[in-house]
Chains A and B, each alone.
Chain A
Amino acid sequence: MAMNWLSALARGAEIPVFAVVGAQGLVPVEGLRHRPGLRLVDSPRHARVLLVAGAVDGAHKTELERLHAQIPTPRGTVWWQAPPLFQRGEAVAGDDPLPAIRAAAEADDPDQRPDVPPHPWQGMGPHGQGGRGMMGGNPYGRPMAMTADDIRDGLALDAYTARFGPFLPMWPPGLVLDMTLQGDVIVSATVVSPPIEQGRRGDAPALCAARMLRLMGIGPVAARMRGALMALPKGSGMRRRLATWLRGEAVAETPAPLSEALPGLEWAEAVLWLASFPPSRLRAAFLTKETA
């Protein structure tokens, strides 16, 4: 009896959904934020349902499978206006994915990836350990964090190298960077793959402003009065671009190459800087660089 009551309550709760944004998927996913019955979450570990909105390039199939593996079981998958890259969940072609998400919240996908580390352990030492002492080596495909001079003050800190993207919720969808971080300061950045096409609607001022403000922890109502512009660092152009969007005008600036612009920024600043460019301009910056 008590369990029936609890499960009825659980069914009435919002469904936590992790949205993967594919081609032209940004606008539809932003539209879902205001739908009752579901809640878009920032981490796949917080989600019940994986929603793939818009076609994802086959090159990202492995990353998508790993993301699927990170959703805690029981989990469901919905492919919304996206051709499935693997045989889990169901595909929806229409405008409203909510019925399919409700159905997926009752489903339980089996594992898609084998339950083994993505890279084997590659220790350096004679016993397969990290290397000299506890340092060095390439455990699980990632170089061990070793001390290096901090780029700001020369103090020796651990530099940590990893691949970031392509489905990070706070980043332009599809962008993949190899980055070295010291604490939360970016030391170097190399572009691995550019953002995915979002179309002209993805550049809408209201949508871009809302994405940026969400990273600062507030909604879009009266953002200027609440100090949104004052909170941004001076001289980076972020204030100017956010102010343009808040006035309802489009931003037409193209970012500098990321490998030059990102080093030296802290994580939060870098994320805001990336969000302060419209998706089409970010993408265009990469494509012109490739053809040049």
Chain B
Amino acid sequence: MVVVFLHGWSPNAPFPLIGAYRYVAIALPAMLLSMFVLIGAALPAKSLSVVEVVEAQRGLWNVVRQPLGLPLFMALGLAITLRGPFDYADGAELAGGTSAEESGPALALWKFARAAMLVAFSAMAATAFLGGHLGPVLPGPVWLLLKTLAVMAATVAAGRFFVRMPPARMLTLLWVVLLPLSFASLALVGVEVLP
């Protein structure tokens, strides 16, 4: 979030700056959302260790146990990879937004960074909700790779499918609908893991 803001602030031009401020306003509630769903994923494991989170899914994957978790986490994925409905930093209505003033190597690097965020997000989603390396027959790393690729494909498809609202409406949706949903998800997980 800080990097995207600085990326938009540094060119000293109106569109990148608008993109940067808008992104901070949208990404903050999106981050809060992911915080609650990730705590939800960690609760059954009683640990924040990724290894423990995967081990806790040996019986049942989190995507089934916490059906709201993965869809809400996908919202964060769209926000941090600046994609589709959450692309408030680099959208078409800002002529490229935070990257509007960049070209050549700097632009290529920015695109590479966005792709890297997509891979990192997808690997974490596959680990926290889809059982990471768990799976029959195939070796663990192959399973993790397949699941990561599936989440990547789903994120890209969601980015292309859903429409981008004006930021004020998206803020309302995030604070009034999605954030309470993430509380509810966390509360349900809490009730479920009570001994």
Contact = CB atoms under 8 A, between A and B. Distances in A.
A65 interface: no
Interface in A205-219: 213-219
Contact of A46 (B84, B93, B96, B168): B96
Q: What does DSSP make chain B's interface, helix, strand, loop or mixed? A: helix
A168 B95 contact: yes
Q: How many B residues touch the partner, as a band?
A: 20 to 34
A267 B87 contact: no
Nearest to A268: B166
Given A184-B18, A266-B168, A72 B95 contact: no
B104 interface: yes
A162 interface: yes
Contacts of B163: 213, 216-218, 223, 226-228, 231
Contact of A43 (B18, B95, B166): B95
Interface string A96-114: 0000000000000000000
B161 A45 contact: no
B162 interface: yes
B107 interface: yes
Interface string A43-68: 10110000000000000000000000
Interface string B1-43: 0000000000000100010011000000000000000000000
A228 B163 CA distance: 6
Contact of A45 (B93, B100, B160, B168): B100
B101 A45 contact: yes
Contacts of B164: 216-218, 231
Contact of A170 (B93, B99, B101, B161): B93
Listed residue (A43, A223, A228, A232) with the most chain B CB atoms within 10 angstroms of its CB: A43
A162 B18 CA distance: 13
Interface string B116-129: 00000000000000
Interface string A182-193: 011000000000
A183 B92 contact: no
A45 B103 contact: yes
A162 B166 CA distance: 22
B165 interface: yes
A19 to B, nearest CB: 12
A183 B94 CA distance: 13
Interface residues of A, number: 34
Contacts of B100: 42-43, 45
Contacts, number: 95
Contacts of A169: 92, 95
Contacts of A217: 84-85, 87, 91-92, 162-164
Interface string A24-46: 00000000000000000111011
B103 A267 contact: no
B84 to A, nearest CB: 5
A222 to B, nearest CB: 9
A268 B162 CA distance: 17
B129 to A, nearest CB: 25
Given A231-B164, A266-B166, A43 B96 contact: yes
A183 B125 CA distance: 34
B84 A267 contact: no
A45 B87 CA distance: 19
A43 B107 CA distance: 12
5 contacts: A41-B96, A45-B101, A45-B102, A226-B162, A231-B164
Interface of A: 41-43, 45-46, 72, 160, 162, 168-170, 181, 183-184, 213-219, 223, 226-228, 231-233, 266-269, 271-272
Interface of B: 14, 18, 21-22, 84-85, 87, 91-96, 99-104, 107, 160-169
Given A42-B92, A43-B96, A170-B94, 8 more contacts: A45-B101, A45-B103, A217-B84, A217-B163, A226-B161, A233-B168, A266-B166, A268-B166
